[in-house]
């Protein structure tokens, strides 16, 4: 039952309903009581839900785990990985304690990573008797590239000599009592109907809409049975040329012979698909998996060539050169940061205008033609917004992952008293009235990541004396350009879950005319090639972001949480926690603010610092030369290339003071809230309970 004034009135005898009238005092009284009654009703319903692990709130999970005797629980937030699966499956784990399948499932549930468990005695060399052949022992054929590429991974099956060192220190992997736990830290993000970027010559394309060489990833299908060995198709890993090529060639041979064949990579959910705009995709048997690093020609018998290692496509010359290629593919990254198709529902709910009454939807899908509020270009949707100067809140929703080339630049106006949110999301139209108003509750900020090519300019048009200047928000885009705030009176700029891939300056607050002194800049989960803020604005708040370039805000008070800055950083005042400043940090006013649990290099000018590296290590280890500590305690990354799956991911050789130096005991920088160290601590605790007696385990990262 819903508790509101009208519903409560209907519970009374009809005579009181009639005497009270439409808006009588009795209805007003019940309206006051309805709010607390509805809150109490929801609380009672939630108390019932909290009795079950499947429906309880996240904070209840450890308490249910305590009832089951699940020990060693470190709190891991649901935004990164939840303990819910671990607690829910505890009884199942205990029924099959000690089996390899349990160790694999346990590792996956505890960490949220793709996982494999391998008994290392099966990969030891030994002299075999012809009457007792070990089928699981494989010898490397140097003419076969497949096992060579998987050498020393959890998916490899090559034989090794015995290592007697302890596997727990990640050295002695190959020994009789050892079980290796392989973890895939990178996530796979699937995209559908992405417009491939043109390559250097006609008929040549990049899977990435911005024309970058990015490896294609497998999007693993859920394995609920969890039986059998881990395979490449069941973990989020980069696609290799050889197995995909072999799978397609087997499919071609089966079709030619009229036989049935179950494809590994191209079953009901293909790992990638290529086709022209609004035309059927190329069938798997017409695709050649090859090396396209030099864009070599495709032989006859195939329609296209695909290079999964670089994400490149080339059409066969005889088929012509189509201009609009749409692809489905998956890329890899280590966290839900930057523009991506991951679920942004909670973040978008916080960004939503209070009372949206104006909207436009943007899509290039011809099937949506005729729907109310539809625009085929973002330029037209913004022009409609700029032309309407009435005070209201509005939404511009981009419905697909297509590429939108912007005018130079795309000018967005923030009128006085307005709030506009531009986001990438799914938003189904009404099924009964296709031209009727849309339900804002149906917006689903997931599964899409549009690419915007061009620059964006934002101008606040409110008078300088206005008490309610306009506000602009952006969420979920891959931008090949920069965002510039022109001189004016803008009240707020919120940018979340976006990647700015081009230009040394991605966000700038420019002076001229009325200055944006009241502007509040909020940036969350953003990847940017730098940032400039001039002149003074009210505040800049940045969290869970990578600023890969100079950050210039010498007149602005700043607050940073869990960010990675590459290059020089200039601010006026600073509050920072769990950050990496991989470049000189300069704070104009050191009497205000604080920097805690962060890294900054020698020579930086900062406010008071608390447990910051390498200064804290130098202070607590006076017996070690300062030069040695500074040389050892410095951030190192697996990749510095934007678009690489391991972009700005701290390498395993990075100093422990940085890998575990955050306020939560986890790594500093943009990936702090992945709480990798807590996940591994949980896994160590869990493995100790479920390992067989006399067996030892070690954890190895596969990517």
Displacement of CA 29 from its chain's centroid (Å): 48
Confidence of residue 504 (pLDDT cuts 50, 70, 90): very low
Q: What is the mean pLDDT of residues 312-332?
A: 84
Q: At 320, is the pLDDT very low, low, confident or very high (cuts 50, 70, 90)?
A: low
Identify the pLDDT of residue 223.
Answer: 59
Whole-angstrom distance, CA of residue 282 vs CA of residue 276: 9
Do 466 and 414 form a contact (C-beta atoms < 8 A)? no
Q: What is the pLDDT of residue 689?
A: 82
Q: Which residues pair with 524 in a beta bridge?
A: 496, 543
Q: What is the mean pLDDT of residues 32-55?
A: 82
Token output for 211: 């024309």
pLDDT at 432 over 60: no
Residues belonging to the chain: 703
Residue 227 has pLDDT above 70, yes or no: no
User: 506 falls in which pLDDT band (50, 70, 90)?
Assistant: very low
Distance CA 581, CA 565 (A): 5
The answer to whether 219 touches 272, Cβ cutoff 8 Å, is no
Q: Specify the DSSP class assigned to residue 465.
A: T
DSSP reduced 3-state for 276: strand
Mean pLDDT, the chain, whole residue set: 86
The dihedral over CA atoms of 281, 284, 289, 292, expressed in degrees to the nearest 10, equals -10
Confidence of residue 319 (pLDDT cuts 50, 70, 90): low
- Is the pLDDT confidence value at 466 over 90? no
What are the tens digits of pLDDT across the range 259-290? 888 888 988 789 999 988 777 788 888 999 99
Residue 682 pLDDT level (bands cut at 50, 70, 90): confident
3-class DSSP state of 686 = helix
Q: What is the mean pLDDT of residues 100-119?
A: 86
Q: Smallest Cα–Cα separation from 658: which of 648, 641, 672, 678?
A: 672
Residue 447: the pLDDT is 93
pLDDT of 497: 94
278: Cβ contacts below 8 Å, ≥ 6 apart: 366
In three-state secondary structure terms, 122 is: helix
CA dihedral (15, 19, 25, 26) in degrees, to 10, reads 0
Summarised one tens digit per residue, pLDDT across range 515-532 is: 788 889 999 999 998 888
519 neighbors 537 (Cβ within 8 angstroms): yes
Nearest to 59 by CA among 40, 71, 42, 73: 73
Instruction: Name the strands in the sheet holding 325-333, side by side, starting at the edge strand that comes first in the sequence.
Output: 187-195, 325-333, 273-276
Across the range 140-158, mean pLDDT stands at 82
- Examine the pLDDT at 214 and tell me if it is beyond 90: yes
Most confident of 51-55, 171-175, 224-228, 268-272: 268-272
Higher pLDDT, 410 or 21: 410
Q: How far apart are CA 353 and CA 337, in angstroms?
A: 23
Mean pLDDT value across residues 215-222: 85
**More confident site: 74 or 573:** 573
């Amino acid at each position: 039952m819903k508790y509101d004034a009208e519903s409560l009135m209907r519970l009374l005898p009809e005579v009181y309903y009639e005497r009270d009238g439409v808006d009588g005092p009795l209805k007003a009284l019940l309206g006051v009581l309805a709010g607390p009654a509805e809150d109490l009703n929801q609380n009672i319903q939630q108390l019932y839900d909290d009795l079950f692990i499947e429906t309880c709130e996240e904070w209840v999970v450890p308490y249910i785990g305590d009832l089951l005797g699940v020990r060693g629980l470190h709190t891991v937030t649901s935004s990164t990985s939840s303990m819910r699966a671990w607690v829910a499956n505890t009884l199942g784990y205990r029924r099959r304690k000690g089996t390899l399948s349990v160790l694999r499932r346990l590792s996956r549930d505890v960490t949220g990573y793709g996982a494999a468990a391998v008994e290392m005695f099966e990969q030891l060399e030994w002299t075999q008797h012809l009457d007792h052949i070990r089928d699981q022992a494989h010898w490397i054929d140097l003419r076969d590239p497949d096992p060579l590429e998987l050498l020393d991974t959890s998916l490899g099956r090559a034989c090794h000599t015995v290592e007697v060192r302890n596997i727990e220190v990640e050295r002695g992997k190959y020994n009789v009592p050892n079980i290796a736990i392989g973890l895939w830290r990178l996530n796979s993000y699937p995209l559908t109907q992405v417009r491939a970027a043109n390559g250097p010559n006609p008929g040549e394309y990049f899977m990435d809409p911005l024309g970058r060489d990015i490896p294609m990833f497998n999007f693993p299908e859920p394995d609920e049975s969890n039986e059998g060995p881990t395979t490449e198709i069941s973990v989020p890993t980069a696609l290799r040329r050889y197995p995909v090529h072999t799978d397609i060639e087997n499919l071609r041979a089966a079709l030619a012979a009229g036989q049935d064949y179950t494809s590994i990579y191209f079953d009901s959910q293909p790992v990638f698909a290529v086709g022209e705009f609004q035309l059927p995709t190329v069938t798997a048997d017409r695709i050649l998996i090859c090396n396209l690093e030099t864009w070599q020609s495709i032989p006859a018998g195939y329609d296209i060539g695909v290079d999964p290692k670089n994400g490149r496509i080339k059409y066969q010359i005889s088929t012509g050169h189509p201009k609009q290629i749409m692809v489905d593919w998956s890329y890899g990254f280590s966290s839900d940061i930057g523009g991506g198709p991951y679920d942004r529902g909670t973040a978008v709910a916080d960004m939503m205008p209070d009372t949206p009454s104006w909207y436009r939807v943007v899509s290039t899908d011809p099937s949506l033609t005729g729907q109310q509020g539809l625009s085929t270009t973002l330029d037209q949707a913004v022009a409609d917004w700029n032309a309407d100067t009435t005070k209201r809140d509005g939404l511009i929703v981009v419905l697909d992952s297509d590429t939108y080339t912007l005018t130079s630049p795309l000018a967005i106006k923030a009128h006085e008293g307005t709030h506009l949110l531009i986001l990438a999301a799914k938003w189904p139209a009404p099924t009964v009235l296709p031209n009727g108003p849309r339900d804002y509750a149906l917006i689903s900020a997931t599964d899409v990541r549009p690419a915007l090519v061009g620059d964006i300019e934002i101008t606040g048009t409110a008078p300088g004396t206005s008490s309610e200047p306009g506000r602009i928000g952006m969420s979920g885009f891959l931008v090949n350009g920069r965002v510039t705030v022109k001189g004016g009176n803008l009240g707020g700029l919120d940018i979340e879950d976006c990647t700015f891939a081009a230009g040394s300056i991605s966000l700038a607050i420019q002076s001229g005319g009325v200055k944006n002194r009241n502007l509040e800049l909020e940036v969350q989960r953003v990847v940017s090639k730098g940032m400039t803020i001039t002149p003074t604005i009210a505040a800049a708040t940045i969290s869970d972001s990578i600023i890969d370039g100079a950050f210039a805000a010498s007149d602005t008070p700043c607050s940073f949480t869990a960010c990675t800055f590459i290059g020089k950083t200039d601010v006026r005042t600073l509050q920072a926690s769990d950050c990496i400043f991989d470049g000189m940090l300069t704070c104009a006013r050191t009497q205000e603010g604080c920097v805690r649990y962060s890294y900054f290099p020698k020579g930086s000018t900062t406010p008071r610092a608390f447990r910051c590296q390498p200064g804290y290590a130098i202070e607590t280890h006076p017996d070690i030369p300062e030069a040695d500590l500074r040389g050892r305690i410095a951030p190192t990354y697996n990749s510095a290339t934007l678009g690489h799956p391991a972009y700005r991911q701290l390498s395993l050789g990075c100093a422990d003071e940085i890998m575990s130096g955050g306020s939560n005991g986890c790594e500093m920088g943009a990936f702090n809230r992945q709480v990798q160290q807590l996940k591994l601590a949980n896994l160590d605790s869990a493995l100790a309970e479920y390992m067989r007696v006399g067996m030892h385990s070690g954890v190895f990262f596969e990517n």
